[in-house]
Structure 1
């Protein structure tokens, strides 16, 4: 599958609550500001007001609306929002799932208040691609790391998270494209003679167990004069490329 490279923990927490939000998370994401309180006051019934408030928080924290799964919101978040709204019995939230159209209506209202964008919008996807490509070009982030950074970027830029089968392959493809572009740039900047030398370092000489490249990239473990000599030999080998002679040849022997 397109998201198999992700860890089990990454897949499990995508657009879900795995643990209770911390007190800091509650204040950052589930605190209802003046605009939110004004809107939620229009709702009929404590379960609808509480459900609206929880949708507000989950959209901000997880980048998605839980809709009929609002019952999956941790109790600490339910209690935190209920206290703000003066809802005496937080268990009334169970009634919120009884009318799906109401939940969808609330989601539309919250999208407008928060300025949330759907990922399907061309602009949002293009911006994310630029971000991932930039990270891939400037860092050594793995696909897993880039995926997590993409999730954070989307939430911070108020873009609703797409399905995992959409985001995971996008990260893979953009990273592959960017690395290919970086490699092509390096090849173009590398003199032809050096390219030949580099290719030859991957060939295992007769009578040897490893290639010169593997020898050069293997760390020296001996903390002694001999070890220092080996380390210097490797440095000489690297600096010898396109210097006019195979200075490392004698060292490798």
Structure 2
């Protein structure tokens, strides 16, 4: 069974901005309330304040943090900067600073996001295994369902290959179990007479 079932395009669209958020999305995910602004302004300097806020909105919108927090559409940076009374150019260089890691930890702790680690991995693996056993859904369907489940639970999305390999391995285990059950079933000649 192939481990890679996603196309190159599907992989490239995972966990990133695929389009500029519209006005409704900006308001829903990137609007900062008083508490958000207070937390952002506690960061040291305009670059960190804007970077912290952009990362908060990104986590809300994508359910993950970007490898480079500056890889967001300009409309997002403009929208967030305006709320803080900062300039969009203040974000420049934020992605190369160590503070971004501390900010991610603050956002996880302060906003109820969970990292995809041991317990979350095991819970998702159990759910996917049961689903694969009972439904026989295609890998891409399981991938989409798993992503939806993680987003709903505010568990930050793992890397695309992590999720892809997990699904492929679980489907392989399900297939092996099915084959073993079928192989153990008696044939018509070996069944005892009724």
Q: TM-score range by the shorter chain?
A: 0.7 to 0.9
Shift of 1:171: 0.7
Count of residues in Structure 1 that have an aligned counterpart in Structure 2? 190
Show the counterpart of 1:143.
139
TM norm structure 2: 0.81
Matches within 5 A, 1:171-182: 171-181=167-177
Question: Given the superposition, is the C-alpha separation of residues 36 and 134 from structure 1 closer, same or farther in structure 2, using an over 3 Å criterion?
Answer: farther
Q: SS of the counterpart of 2:147?
A: helix
Show the counterpart of 2:188.
193
Show the counterpart of 1:127.
123
Bigger Rg, structure 1 or 2: 1
Show the counterpart of 1:66.
66
RMSD: 2.9
- Partners of 2:121 and 2:111 lie apart in 1 by 19
Show the counterpart of 2:92.
94
Higher RCO by CA contacts (8 Å cutoff, separation 6 or greater): 2
Mark the runs of 5 or more structure 1 residues left unpaired by the alignment: 197-253
- Partners of 1:10 and 1:138 lie apart in 2 by 26
1:114 aligned to which of 111, 115, 122: 111
Mark the runs of 5 or more structure 2 residues left unpaired by the alignment: none
- Partners of 1:180 and 1:105 lie apart in 2 by 44
* Residue 13 in structure 1 maps to residue 13 in structure 2: yes
- Does the CA contact (< 8 Å) of 2:129 and 2:171 recur in 1? yes
- Partners of 1:160 and 1:129 lie apart in 2 by 15
- Partners of 1:24 and 1:175 lie apart in 2 by 38
Shift of 1:73: 0.4
Question: Given the superposition, is the C-alpha separation of residues 85 and 195 from structure 1 closer, same or farther in structure 2, using an over 3 Å criterion?
Answer: farther
Question: Given the superposition, is the C-alpha separation of residues 139 and 41 from structure 1 closer, same or farther in structure 2, using an over 3 Å criterion?
Answer: same
- Partners of 1:195 and 1:82 lie apart in 2 by 75
Matches within 5 A, 1:66-85: 66=66, 69-85=68-84
